[in-house]
Structure 1
Amino acid sequence: MKIVAFNGSPRAEESGTHVMVDAFLEGAAQAGAEVENVFLARKKIEHCLGCFQCWASPAGRCVLKDDMEDLIGRYSAADIVVFATPLHNDNISSHLKVFIDRLLPTGDPHFEVDEGGETVHPTRGGKVPKFVMISNCGFPEQSHFQVLRLLTKRMARNYKTEFVAEIYRGGGPWLTEPAAAEAVEGYRELVRAAGEEVVTAGRLSEETRERLEQPLIPSPDFLDFYRQGVNQYWDDLWARKG
């Protein structure tokens, strides 16, 4: 099994997103998968021109000459693709959005009707990878991932596939906070287990999904402590900058 993660964080290896993806891929590799971690911030990916030239011929080639041709090859060769992103304005990062937009050549321009009676594009045929979504956000509550939870449903429909795992983490700044190292390592162990489970069972169990939704630091005072700490950080920063 081949798993390729496309990390859309602008901070690449320094990000909380990477902390999560790295643990997931470790678990998947331990279960026997071949894994690859691609940092989109390190790639040259131009914005889609909306010219539809990739749909104008059966070959499906984009007119832009950048790193996307290689990345589409990696995407198409994968059995499972991980979309990883920090939460920006309730949605995926701009790096990941541009990458997904440029996957247009993998689709077919014709119309068909799905089982729900809604118009959709077919695929060009061949293998379609299954998907995983991994994300973290600065806000502490899990409720902030509502848009991503809906997006995964629409993407699964549009790409004729399924999301075998969704892993979301509120309070993302704690993932790279040395003071929270013990709690983060416990969380990473859970994400490693999720990576193993996706390889061995094909999807996350209900028990694993529920555990992944639990607070990073299970304390009744954590939310207030976290909010106050974030506010203090910005107050101190503003004070230093006058």
Structure 2
Amino acid sequence: MKVLAFNGSPRGTHSNTDRILQPFLKGARDAGAETETIYLKDLNIRPCLGCFTCWTRTPGICTQKDDMSLLLEKMRHADIVVYATPLYVFTVSGLMKNFMDRTIPLADPHIIKQGEHYVHLPRYKDAARRSVLISNCGFPERDNFSALVDMFHHFMNNHDSNLVAIILRPMGELMRQPDLQSFLSWYFQAAYQAGQELIKLGHITRETQAILDRDFMPIETYVTMANAWWDSQIAVSNAEQEEIETGRPLPHPTSMPTTLQELIAGMPLAFNAQSAGDLQAVIQFDVSGREPGQYYIHIANGKCSAFEGKHPDPNLIIHTPSDIWLAISRGEMDGMQAMMDGKYSIDGDLNLMIRFNELFSVAGTDIK
């Protein structure tokens, strides 16, 4: 069985689209299929001219001499075609739309009633009859894909093809973060399982589909972090401003920390200046529970300092009971899972939170 996949992301192999597509295809290969990925960004595919020459003077053959003729031939000999695209303005990417427009030679020009709709039937009887849609977006809600899915159902009708699987991933930008790969391993495993099931069963099981449809995190948490990340990327003045600290400096602990204040005071000792590079950031700890208090970590110019007090403009705020953060730091609790379970919460820069383990790499500060 041949599975032909088209990746319509301008990012190609570095895209979130490919992060879903490749585990899916590996599952298909391990189930016995032959797979191939075509990255549309690497090909010369001109826009359709709307001349209909491929329907009249040269039936089935486009007059444009570019890479599309090879792709049309490959589609004819594939058993399953996978359309993988990021969501751009609630539909496919420009690369994917251009490619889809150019598949017109595979259709017969006559308008035929099929069921309740009128369609163009496929020109060739050996063309693929099964298709898969894979898409992701930065929005948090699944209904952002509704126009895309509706368009694909119409597109499949014109190709007399059955859309046998749909994998849609909101919050897709989280898949780009290296430190979240282990946390999201369950999702990539589900994509792999979906590929296997499609080849073995002809469809994705309800159990696997339910896993693929799970949210990565609570929507409000994601939105807060995403907006903070965009704020951090907006251009600001490069002029260095002298920082006037508002908190009381915390002395480094002289022994293993037993309280949360001692733990935070010791974080500069675990600071990885090489990983931080030119990072300028403030991490505020809003602590409740047995040891309530306000503390912050200031990272600047390759150095890290700890303070007691409340910073006026932190990049990241961690709201946590003292017992929870101590348990995380000691490795007694998974930090990311604890956040998902609502045991602590954050406001601010998502990237900074994701880099936490990288910035503080000495044992006792790891939140994985």
Q: Same fold (TM over 0.5)?
A: yes
Q: Is the 8 A contact 2:75 2:127 kept in 1?
A: no
Residue number in structure 2 paired with 1:26: 26
Give the letter aligned to residue 63 of structure 1: T
Q: Is the 8 A contact 1:183 1:216 kept in 2?
A: no
Which aligned pairs between 1:79-228 and structure 2 lie closer than 5 A? 79-116=79-116, 118-129=117-128, 130-217=130-217, 222-228=218-224
Residue number in structure 2 paired with 1:39: 39
Deviation at 1:110, TM superposition (A): 1.1
3-state SS in 2 of match to 1:131: strand
Residue number in structure 1 paired with 2:64: 64
Give the letter aligned to residue 126 of structure 2: K
Residue number in structure 2 paired with 1:9: 9
1:85-141 deviations in whole A, cap 9, x for unaligned?
00001101000000000000000111211121x322122132231100000000111
Higher mean alpha-carbon deviation, 202-211 vs 168-177, is at 202-211
Residues in 2 aligned to 1:203 and 1:165: alpha-carbon distance in whole angstroms: 7
Residues in 1 aligned to 2:209 and 2:155: alpha-carbon distance in whole angstroms: 20
Residue number in structure 2 paired with 1:53: 53
3-state SS in 2 of match to 1:182: coil
Residues in 2 aligned to 1:40 and 1:184: alpha-carbon distance in whole angstroms: 27
Give the letter aligned to residue 186 of structure 1: W
State which of 200, 207, 229 in structure 2 corresponds to 1:233.
229
Between Structure 1 and Structure 2, the one with more helix by share is 1
Deviation at 1:209, TM superposition (A): 2.0
Q: Is the 8 A contact 2:76 2:124 kept in 1?
A: no
Q: Is the 8 A contact 2:110 2:120 kept in 1?
A: yes
Q: Is the 8 A contact 1:4 1:75 kept in 2?
A: yes
**Structure 2: tracts of 5 or more residues without a match:** 239-368
3-state SS in 1 of match to 2:183: helix
Q: Is the 8 A contact 1:28 1:35 kept in 2?
A: yes
Give the letter aligned to residue 124 of structure 1: R
3-state SS in 2 of match to 1:109: strand
Give the letter aligned to residue 74 of structure 2: R
Give the letter aligned to residue 124 of structure 2: G
Q: Is the 8 A contact 1:128 1:160 kept in 2?
A: no
3-state SS in 2 of match to 1:183: coil
1:201-237 deviations in whole A, cap 9, x for unaligned?
01112222222111124xxxx3222212221222112
Higher mean alpha-carbon deviation, 124-133 vs 40-49, is at 124-133
Q: Is the 8 A contact 2:83 2:134 kept in 1?
A: yes
Q: Which has the larger radius of gyration?
A: 2
1:40-71 deviations in whole A, cap 9, x for unaligned?
00111000000000001464111111100011
Give the letter aligned to residue 193 of structure 2: A
Residues in 2 aligned to 1:186 and 1:67: alpha-carbon distance in whole angstroms: 37
Residues in 1 aligned to 2:62 and 2:121: alpha-carbon distance in whole angstroms: 18
Residues in 2 aligned to 1:164 and 1:48: alpha-carbon distance in whole angstroms: 28
Identify if the C-alpha distance between structure 1 residues 71 and 125 changes in structure 2 by more than 3 Å, giving closer, same or farther. closer
Q: Is the 8 A contact 2:175 2:184 kept in 1?
A: yes
User: Aligned residues: percent identity?
Assistant: 37
Runs ≥4 residues deviating over 4 A: none
Residues in 1 aligned to 2:145 and 2:187: alpha-carbon distance in whole angstroms: 18
Deviation at 1:183, TM superposition (A): 2.6
Between Structure 1 and Structure 2, the one with more strand by share is 2
Which is bigger in relative contact order (C-alpha 8 A, separation at least 6)?
1
Identify if the C-alpha distance between structure 1 residues 230 and 241 changes in structure 2 by more than 3 Å, giving closer, same or farther. farther
Higher mean alpha-carbon deviation, 63-72 vs 150-159, is at 150-159
Q: CA RMSD in A?
A: 1.4
**Structure 1: tracts of 5 or more residues without a match:** none
Higher mean alpha-carbon deviation, 98-107 vs 69-78, is at 69-78
The TM-score, its normalising length taken from structure 2, stands at 0.62
